Structure 1
């Protein structure tokens, strides 16, 4: 099985880049499952139903979230009625709407998709290791393939999580920092790992935001409103993973960058 995972879709520019590029990637790479992180998809914070459906129509099979899950209140109206949109499983258990995982049937193969958020330099949440242990223990009885989107700031936390569950999940791919890392590997137990897949959106912004506002904040520490950069060039960060359907072990992992400095050649 081939899984394509697209990094954090950022605002309207990210939506446009997703709609334009993902169909090209799918025609070229032929993934059986396409997952995207959509926690920044609507105006840079959260997601609404219109954008959610737009990403599905453009090729996403499952959409994961992160620390900006609740920044757009409209998500509360539909997240509990769909199995294709999941939020971090270690948000306060039983206190918030939606689910932290889903199971997708891909050509007769059941795939578990799990969303987890880190605690280091992030908003408070339940223990990601303990919550994941409970969910993975249950998923192992139902599926052979388990994909984890670990939404976190600290590389060490993401690595620790991947090593802790090596051999029990097919992949642990990091999101949140919007900068694609160069540490893609398959751990000894067969778990594919990447600290961060990067993001999809404004290539000429700073992590997708307007440069002047971000630079001003660093220079003077004054409160500044961050807005998505809408001018300039666009980028897409992704990862491709090949997994053995029977064992759930990853066989191949490959970084994908599409931007003016890394044009995609079909």
Structure 2
């Protein structure tokens, strides 16, 4: 009886996550209806809230896949509650990614849930656990861009459309960065089980510096431009052009002065 109750509690959705989701929903409603006097503030709350929700779902996907692969410890650690405060590195998983969105409009991947890999058998399972997070970002991007590639933009307010475009950009950049085969990122986690033991031992000391390496590389103008060109190419394939994301980013960064959408008839 006690065990069953504990397991149920381990998987119950956290009030913290529900609160974040509620703020996101209210802000989204304000963006859609134009309820807020300053649409930039509503866009900021909506996109930031949705971004945090996607980060929680990213880590949940890792944990849930690990649970079904043999690591039953993830429940006791609180990873199945979607509570961002339960992550082993809340700073890396939530705070830094949100700060990077605010500073530069890029979906920086985070590192968060601790999986007891010794409980899991089979290289495919290890790879799938690592892939589950980025695939969540891919799914999120597909959902955000659905009105575009379905041709269902009639009736969608311009401000909401631009907010979705910017949110989609964050999801695409997060997926692309996470899939890089750099130690410490999910892309390396996907291929790691297939590497020789010697190579893994040589690479292991560099894993804690993977995010720092990504940060440093993105400061190089040529690499930064190439990366965002790739992200824009992906978004164009989903029906979003760079102007949509440009407007969404400027609406989000309302403190810089939001663009005058009335000139566009929106």
TM-score interval, smaller chain:
0.3 to 0.5
Higher Cα radius of gyration = 2
Q: Which has the higher helix share?
A: 2
TM-score by length of 1: 0.32
